[in-house]
Chain A
Amino acid sequence: MTDIDSEDRIDMIVPEGSHGIFSGISGFGFLIDAPLGATIREMLKEVIGLDDDYIRDSIGTVLYNGKPVDDMDAWKIGENASVAVSAALPGLFGAAFRKDGKYAGLRPACDQGNLSPDDADRACENGKPTVMLLKLFNQSERDIAPALLANGVRMSAENFCAFWENRLRLTGAGNIRIGLNGRPVVPEALCTGIGAGSVVITLQSGNL
C-alpha cells in the first residue's frame, strides 16, 4: 500500500440477510462529499437522504468534530469535518449527550454552533464541495448504512482494512463474493491488493 492518491473499487455480494458482517463498518468512517457551509440538517437530508421525521425522532445524538450538537441548523460543515450520528443512548452519558436534552449541563461546556461571523464572511465559499467523515453508530448504522453501501461508499483504505482485518479475525468473512477493481479476490487477500488511498465499497445481496 504505497499510493496515497489511489482509489480502489471493491464490489461485494452476500446472500440476502447476511449484511450483518458489515456491522460496525461505518464506525470507522465513511468519506462523504458534502457542500461546504451546509448545515448538518441539510447534509443529512440532501446528501444522505434522510427525512425530517427520521432526523427528529430517530437520531438521539449528533457529534460534530466530537462536540455534541443540539441544534442541527446551527452547525455548518467545515473543512475536515467529522459528523457522527447515533440513536438514543443509555446512561447518564446518553442523557447528557442527547441532542437538545435537559441534562446537557452535565457536559463540560455547551457549544452553541459554529455560525460565527467568520463563517458568514466565508459565505462565498459555501457550496464548494468538501470531503467529510461520516460515522453512523448503532441503530443509525442499521437504518442508514445499507443504502449507502448499496450505492457505493468511500472509505480510507486504512480504515477499511482496520475494519476488515478485525472482522476476519473475529468471525471470518462468511459466504461472500468479492471483486477488487473488477477481479475476484479471496477475503484474506483483499487488503494486500489495495492501495494506500481510498476505496469505494459496494455491497449487494444476491445468489452466490
Chain B
Amino acid sequence: MDKILRINMGPDGEPTSKTEPVGDYAGLGGRGMTSAIVAKEVPPTCHPLGEDSKLVIAPGLLGGTTGAMSGRSSVGCKSPLTGGIKEANSGGQPAQMLGRLGYAALVLEGRPKDDTLYTIRISADGVEIKTATALKMKGNYDTVENLKNEYGDKVSCISIGQAGEMKLIASTVAFTDMEQRPARHAARGGVGAVMGAKGVKAIVIDDTGASMRSPKDPEKFKAANRAFVDGLKKHPVTGQGLPAYGTNVLTNVVNEAGAYPTYNFKTGRFDGASAISGETQAETITARGGKATHGCHRGCVIRCSGIWHDKDGHYLTKQPEYETVWSHGGNCGINDLDAIAMLDRLDDDYGVDTIEMGATIGVAMEAGLLEFGDAEGAINLVKEVGKGTPLGRILGSGAAVTGKAFGIERVPVVKNQAMPAYDPRAVQGIGVTYATSTMGADHTAGYAVTANLLGVGGNVDPLTPEGQVELSRNLQYATAAIDATGMCLFVAFAVLDQPETFQAMIDMINSFHGLELTGDDVTALGKKITKMERDFNTAAGFNKTDDRLPDYFRKEALAPHNVTFMVSDDDLDTVFSDL
C-alpha cells in the first residue's frame, strides 16, 4: 500500500485520475490516513459539498493482509451533518481489495459541472470511469445487482443510494459484504452526501490478479496473528457473547440498567425490550434459516453479524445491530423485530444512517407526526426519504434539522449528530465522550477500552470526576489509534482483559511493517490523530460551547434512577487540555 489514487471529478470534459506515491502520508492507515488528508488538504471553512471538499476512503494499516479483523474501511471528509471533520468506518470486502491493489487511500476531489453520475472501476489494470445514468436514483441493492451483472460476482462495491444522490446529510456510503450485498455502511455524518456531491454513484473494486500483502517478518507476523486470534476466541465477549447474539446482546442489560433511551430519550427503560433483545433475535434468525453468527468481512473471527430472513425464510437484511434495534425499536416505542428489520433494509437501500434515522423518527414522533410505537408509520416515513418528498428530505437530513423544522426542543444530538443507544445520564462517562468527541455524539469514539492497559496513558482513579474525564480522553485516544489500524473496534474487549492479546496486536503491526512500536506509541498515534481533528474543527469554527450535551440532559431526570448529567462544563473543557 504505497500509493494514493486521486480522482478529480471536476475538470471540463471527463473526470481524471492519477496515482501518486503515498509520500508524507506514509505509515498512516484508516482514520489516521483519512483525517491527515482532510486536515491537510480540505479548507476547514469550505462547504462540505463544494468543489474544495474531498472524500477519502482508506483501508487500515493491515488492509489486504491475512491479519485477523483488519478489514475495516475508513471514510473521511468534512461532514455536512456536523460541519467538522468526519471519519466513519465500515466492514465489508473493499478494504481488503484496495489493500491488495496497493492503495493506501482513494481520494475523490473536485465537483462535476453537471449532475452526471459516474461509476469508477479500480483493478490491477488501472482505473476506468464511466457514466452511470442507468443507476440514477436506484437503491444500493439494485445498484449492486446491476454492477454484479456487469462486472461479475467477485468484485466488491462502494456505493450510495438515493439519499446520497440527493445529498441528504444523514446519508451513508455502503460497502458490500462477503455475499456481495450492500449491507455494511460507513454511516455517520453524511459521508454519502459528499460522495453524491462528487457525482460518484459507485466504486467497483476488482482485485483479480492481486495478491495478499506480504509482511516484513512473515514468521513473526504469523505467530502474532495466531496469538491474536487465540486471544479473541478465548475471551467471553469476543469468543462467546458476540458470536452467539451479535451486538444486540446489549439490549436486555442496558434496558435493565435504566440506560436504554426510550421514547426519544424520555425514559431509560422500554417495556418491550425483551421482545427485541439479542436473545430473541438470535433464535428467530436460526428458526427462519438465517445465520445468527456471521462475519461482515473475510478474516473476521468474532463474527458478530448475521443474516435476517423474513417470515417466509427469504433474505431481507443483515442482522440488525444493537444500535439499529434500539434506534428504530425502543427509541420509537416499537417492539416488533420484523418491522425493525424492514426499517434496517430500507435504511441500507436508500443509504441512510440507522442511528440518525431512528433518532429522527423519534423526534418526528415527539412532534406528533405519528404515535410512538407506530411501526407501519415509521416504515412509511423512511419511504418518504427514499422517494425524496419534501418531508423525506427533512427527515433524511437528520434529527437536528427535523427538530428545527417541527419546533422540538428534545433533540438528542451533539454537533448535530444523533446520540447512539446509551443515555448519557445513566452512563456519564459515555456522555463525556458524546460531548467532546471530534465526531459529534458517537459511542465508538471512546469505545476502545485499552488506554490503561499496561499503564499506557497513565493510571487514573476512575471513581473520581477527574478520573472520569481523563478516562474518556484516554479512551478517545485509544479508539483513534485502533481506527487507524483498520481493525474492528470489538478487538478492544480482548485486549482490555488480556495483556498478551494487546501485545499480539502490536506485534502484528510491528512484524508486518518492520516497526518497533510500543503501547505508548499507540497512544501517541491516537493523540496525534485527535489533535489533527480538533485543530480542523477549531479552524472550522468550533469552540467549547460545541462540546456540550443539550440542556435537557441536565434538567430532565431519567427514570428509573432519576439521574441527570452531572459532569460540569469546566470538567468537559479539560478533556483535551493536554493537546
Among B136-144, B392-400, B445-453, B529-537, the one that faces the other chain is B445-453
Assess whether B462 is in contact with A108, with CB atoms less than 8 Å apart: no
Assess whether A90 is in contact with B250, with CB atoms less than 8 Å apart: yes
In the bound assembly, the distance between CA atoms of A68 and B247 in angstroms comes to 20
Assess whether A105 is in contact with B560, with CB atoms less than 8 Å apart: no
Among B155-163, B198-206, B256-264, the one that faces the other chain is B256-264
Q: How far is the CB of A112 from chain B (nearest CB, A)?
A: 11
Assess whether A166 is in contact with B275, with CB atoms less than 8 Å apart: yes
Does A89 count as interface, using CB distance less than 8 angstroms? Answer: yes
Assess whether A27 is in contact with B283, with CB atoms less than 8 Å apart: no
Assess whether B257 is in contact with A139, with CB atoms less than 8 Å apart: no
A 55-97 binary contact with B (CB < 8 Å = 1; else 0): 0001011010011100000000000001010111111111111
Q: How far is the CB of B355 from chain A (nearest CB, A)?
A: 14
Give the contacting residue for B257; candidates A21, A88, A97, A109; CB below 8 A.
A97
Count chain B CB atoms within 10 A of each CB in A23, A60, A166, A171 and give the residue with the most.
A23
Assess whether A93 is in contact with B250, with CB atoms less than 8 Å apart: yes
Residue of chain A at shortest CB distance from B235: A88
A 152-163 binary contact with B (CB < 8 Å = 1; else 0): 000000000011
Does B566 count as interface, using CB distance less than 8 angstroms? Answer: yes
**B560 to chain A: which residues have CB within 8 Å?**
66
Given A63-B256, A96-B429, residue A27 in contact with residue B274 (CB < 8 A): yes
**A28 to chain B: which residues have CB within 8 Å?**
274
**B433 to chain A: which residues have CB within 8 Å?**
92
In the bound assembly, the distance between CA atoms of A103 and B566 in angstroms comes to 18
Assess whether A170 is in contact with B280, with CB atoms less than 8 Å apart: yes
Give the contacting residue for B249; candidates A89, A95, A108, A167; CB below 8 A.
A89
Assess whether B430 is in contact with A92, with CB atoms less than 8 Å apart: yes
In the bound assembly, the distance between CA atoms of A21 and B447 in angstroms comes to 33
In the bound assembly, the distance between CA atoms of A135 and B475 in angstroms comes to 31
Assess whether A171 is in contact with B430, with CB atoms less than 8 Å apart: no
Assess whether B236 is in contact with A108, with CB atoms less than 8 Å apart: no
Assess whether A87 is in contact with B241, with CB atoms less than 8 Å apart: yes
Does A24 count as interface, using CB distance less than 8 angstroms? Answer: yes
Count B interface residues, CB 8 Å.
66
Assess whether B283 is in contact with A21, with CB atoms less than 8 Å apart: yes
In the bound assembly, the distance between CA atoms of A101 and B304 in angstroms comes to 23
Among B8-16, B127-135, B371-379, B420-428, the one that faces the other chain is B420-428
Q: How far is the CB of A156 from chain B (nearest CB, A)?
A: 13
Given A66-B560, A170-B338, residue A92 in contact with residue B249 (CB < 8 A): no
**B273 to chain A: which residues have CB within 8 Å?**
27
Does A150 count as interface, using CB distance less than 8 angstroms? Answer: no
Q: How far is the CB of A106 from chain B (nearest CB, A)?
A: 3
Count chain B CB atoms within 10 A of each CB in A20, A91, A137, A174 and give the residue with the most.
A91
Assess whether A106 is in contact with B283, with CB atoms less than 8 Å apart: no
Assess whether A89 is in contact with B471, with CB atoms less than 8 Å apart: no
Among B83-91, B97-105, B174-182, B284-292, the one that faces the other chain is B284-292
Given A60-B236, A93-B427, A103-B471, residue A171 in contact with residue B443 (CB < 8 A): no
Assess whether A92 is in contact with B256, with CB atoms less than 8 Å apart: no
Please report which residues of chain B, range 265-281, place their CB below 8 angstroms from some CB of chain A when the two chains form the complex: 269, 273-275, 277-280
Assess whether B250 is in contact with A108, with CB atoms less than 8 Å apart: no
Given A91-B250, A106-B427, residue A20 in contact with residue B493 (CB < 8 A): no
Residue of chain B at shortest CB distance from A174: B287
How many contacting A-B pairs (Cβ < 8 A)? 175
**A67 to chain B: which residues have CB within 8 Å?**
257, 561
Q: How far is the CB of B267 from chain A (nearest CB, A)?
A: 12
Given A20-B286, A138-B244, residue A88 in contact with residue B429 (CB < 8 A): no
Residue of chain B at shortest CB distance from A110: B463
Give the contacting residue for A84; candidates B247, B253, B449; CB below 8 A.
B253
Assess whether B463 is in contact with A104, with CB atoms less than 8 Å apart: yes
Does B237 count as interface, using CB distance less than 8 angstroms? Answer: yes
**A90 to chain B: which residues have CB within 8 Å?**
237-238, 241-242, 247, 249-250, 304, 490, 493
Q: How far is the CB of A75 from chain B (nearest CB, A)?
A: 15
In the bound assembly, the distance between CA atoms of A89 and B238 in angstroms comes to 9
**A82 to chain B: which residues have CB within 8 Å?**
256
Please report which residues of chain A, range 99-129, place their CB below 8 angstroms from some CB of chain B when the two chains form the complex: 102-110
Does B461 count as interface, using CB distance less than 8 angstroms? Answer: yes
Given A89-B249, A90-B241, A97-B253, residue A108 in contact with residue B427 (CB < 8 A): yes
Does A141 count as interface, using CB distance less than 8 angstroms? Answer: yes
**A138 to chain B: which residues have CB within 8 Å?**
241, 244-245, 249, 252-253, 278-279
Residue of chain B at shortest CB distance from A68: B257
A 22-55 binary contact with B (CB < 8 Å = 1; else 0): 0110011000000000000000000000000000
Count chain A CB atoms within 10 A of each CB in B241, B242, B337, B446 and give the residue with the most.
B241
Assess whether B237 is in contact with A139, with CB atoms less than 8 Å apart: no
In the bound assembly, the distance between CA atoms of A97 and B120 in angstroms comes to 46
Given A27-B274, A105-B467, residue A88 in contact with residue B283 (CB < 8 A): no
Assess whether B468 is in contact with A171, with CB atoms less than 8 Å apart: no
Does B282 count as interface, using CB distance less than 8 angstroms? Answer: yes
In the bound assembly, the distance between CA atoms of A116 and B181 in angstroms comes to 57
In the bound assembly, the distance between CA atoms of A136 and B288 in angstroms comes to 24
Assess whether B252 is in contact with A27, with CB atoms less than 8 Å apart: yes
8 contacts between A and B (CB under 8 A): A23-B283, A24-B279, A27-B252, A66-B256, A86-B252, A86-B253, A106-B427, A109-B563
